């Protein structure tokens, strides 16, 4: 579904991502792991066209989207929930969710999608008319994810959905990720919480200093203390 071929991303002289080739197949959850500064955010941001790919190519459903504007990529069915759960602070939950559907012209379909995700995230129905700032961190993350889902993606990329959240809340977010997979959504999940992410992912990639250092089954990485220690600095816990 997603095919990266030799993707590099640079900020002036700094090369943040170096020749990354990777795939995500339909129906999979793929974990993208690696330490702080490894290039994970740069990579997912370049895939959706928020920052430019400096060389290499990005294919989605067999189509080259390397230099496609972000809005068009969203229309094609690929959406990113960025790092830092950026919700529109001054707007209500309802307004945030409807903004996520700005690429959708079929109003009946928008209402139907809204109902689907208010069902999945009941807390958002409860807080529907509150401004986003009154939500807890976990609720804001759910809002950010639900807002992305309002564009009816076939593939969703989540950049550190658990960042800064209490373990109990992280567990809830991860349960939603599994629920979304069961509904047929394809996902690429960037995580610092490697052990937990590997528990729900099918496959994993590990980035270090912009380069891929591991690719394989999530279970292979999770079950090897040697690999976990070598790539993620988290052996036996």
CB 215 to Mg ion: min, Å = 19
CB 207 to Mg ion: min, Å = 10
Nearest 5°: the CA angle 58, 27, 206 is 55
Q: Side-chain half-sphere of 91: how many Cα atoms within 13 Å?
A: 14
Nearer to ligand ADP, 24 or 118 (CB): 24
- Judge whether 179 and 120 are in contact, CB under 8 Å: yes
Nearer to Mg ion, 43 or 221 (CB): 43
Nearer to Mg ion, 40 or 181 (CB): 40
How far apart CA 170 and CA 172 sit, in angstroms, is 5
Q: Could you say which DSSP state residue 102 is in? A: T
41 near Mg ion (CB under 5 A):
yes
- In terms of Cα–Cα distance, which of 223, 220, 207, 94 is closest to 150? 94
From 1, 7, 16, 222, residue interacting with ligand ADP (rule: CB under 6 A): 16
CB 137 to Mg ion: min, Å = 17
The residues near 15 (Cβ < 8 Å, ≥ 6 apart) are 8, 9, 54, 210
CB 95 to ligand ADP: min, Å = 29
- In terms of Cα–Cα distance, which of 235, 180, 232, 236 is closest to 206? 232
45 near Mg ion (CB under 5 A):
no
Task: Build a one-symbol-per-residue string for 23-42: x at contacts with ligand ADP by CB under 6 A, - elsewhere.
Answer: -----------x-xxxxxxx
Give me the residue label for tokens 């800064």: 164
Q: Which does 39 bind (CB under 5 to 8 A by kind): ligand ADP, Mg ion, none?
A: ligand ADP
18 near ligand ADP (CB under 6 A):
no
156 near ligand ADP (CB under 6 A):
no
- In terms of Cα–Cα distance, which of 38, 75, 61, 16 is closest to 190? 38
Report CA torsion sign: 165, 169, 171, 175.
negative
CB 34 to ligand ADP: min, Å = 6
Task: Build a one-symbol-per-residue string for 52-91: x at contacts with Mg ion by CB under 5 A, - elsewhere.
Answer: -------------------------------x--------
Contacting residues toward ligand ADP, per CB under 6 A = 11, 14, 16, 34, 36-42
């Amino acid at each position: 579904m997603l095919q990266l071929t030799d993707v590099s991303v640079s900020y002036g002289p700094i090369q943040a991502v170096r020749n990354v080739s990777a795939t995500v197949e339909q129906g999979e959850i793929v974990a993208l792991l690696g330490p702080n500064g490894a290039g994970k955010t740069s990579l997912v941001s370049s895939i959706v066209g928020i920052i430019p790919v400096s060389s290499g190519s990005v294919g989605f459903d067999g189509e080259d989207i390397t230099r496609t504007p972000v809005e068009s990529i969203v229309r094609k069915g690929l959406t990113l929930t960025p790092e830092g759960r950026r919700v529109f602070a001054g707007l209500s939950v309802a307004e945030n969710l409807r903004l996520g559907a700005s690429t959708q012209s079929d109003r009946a379909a928008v209402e139907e999608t809204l109902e689907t995700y208010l069902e999945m995230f009941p807390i958002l129905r409860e807080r529907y008319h509150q401004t986003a700032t009154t939500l807890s961190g976990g609720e804001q993350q759910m809002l950010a994810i639900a807002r992305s889902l309002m564009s009816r993606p076939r593939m969703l990329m989540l950049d550190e959905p658990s960042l800064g959240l209490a373990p109990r809340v992280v567990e809830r977010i991860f349960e939603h990720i599994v629920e979304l997979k069961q509904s047929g959504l394809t996902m690429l999940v960037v995580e610092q919480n490697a052990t937990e992410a590997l528990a729900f992912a099918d496959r994993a990639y590990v980035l270090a200093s912009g380069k891929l250092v591991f690719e394989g089954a999530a279970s292979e990485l999770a079950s090897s203390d040697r690999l976990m220690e070598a790539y993620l600095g988290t052996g036996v816990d």
